[in-house]
């Protein structure tokens, strides 16, 4: 059975007032924790007070510099976040060989460090 662990707390965010950019964030857990089953009904703690970390994804310093790689029609393709645009339907696309290609059509598309 899958359960939801709901922890009350708050988020602390550090924002650069000059750039308006989010620099970091952390979740600070409070004392109240509730559990729900798959139907959303409240249940007693079924995990014996197991602790799981509250890791939060940190903001990217410069999102436009994110690099992606994958294969389109058997050929390697590389692009940056800035290369992605929305087509008329809002589908994320990149330009390959002067054609708009949906990002979802790129095989093994992944973030490159």
Q: Which residues pair with 96 in a beta bridge?
A: 99
Sorting pLDDT into bands at 50, 70 and 90, what band is 52? confident
* DSSP annotation string for 24-48: EEEEEEEEEEEEE-TTS-EE--SST
Name the residue ranges covered by the structural domains of the chain: 4-43, 63-112
Mean pLDDT throughout 80-97?
89
List C-alpha distances in Å: 24 to 14, 65, 101: 5, 18, 33
Sorting pLDDT into bands at 50, 70 and 90, what band is 29? confident
Instruction: Please report the pLDDT score of residue 94 as a whole number.
Output: 94
Using the predicted structure, report yes or no on whether residue 76 has a pLDDT greater than 90: yes
Sorting pLDDT into bands at 50, 70 and 90, what band is 78? very high
Q: What ranges make up the beta strands (E) of 1-113?
A: 4-15, 22-36, 42-43, 67-72, 75-80, 85-86, 92-96, 99-102, 107-112
User: With contact defined as beta carbons under 8 Å apart, do 64 and 81 qualify?
Assistant: yes
**What is the sign of the dihedral through the CA atoms of 18, 81, 88 and 98?**
positive
């Amino acid at each position: 059975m899958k359960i939801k662990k709901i922890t009350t707390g708050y988020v602390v965010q550090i924002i650069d007032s000059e750039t308006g950019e989010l620099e970091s964030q952390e979740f600070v857990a409070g004392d109240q924790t509730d559990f729900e089953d798959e139907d959303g009904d409240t249940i007693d703690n079924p995990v014996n007070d197991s602790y799981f970390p509250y890791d939060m994804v940190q903001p990217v310093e410069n999102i436009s510099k994110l690099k992606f790689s994958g294969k389109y029609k058997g050929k390697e393709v590389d692009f940056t976040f800035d290369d992605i645009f929305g087509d008329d339907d809002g589908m994320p696309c990149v330009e390959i060989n002067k054609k708009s290609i949906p990002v979802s059509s790129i095989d093994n598309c992944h973030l490159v460090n």
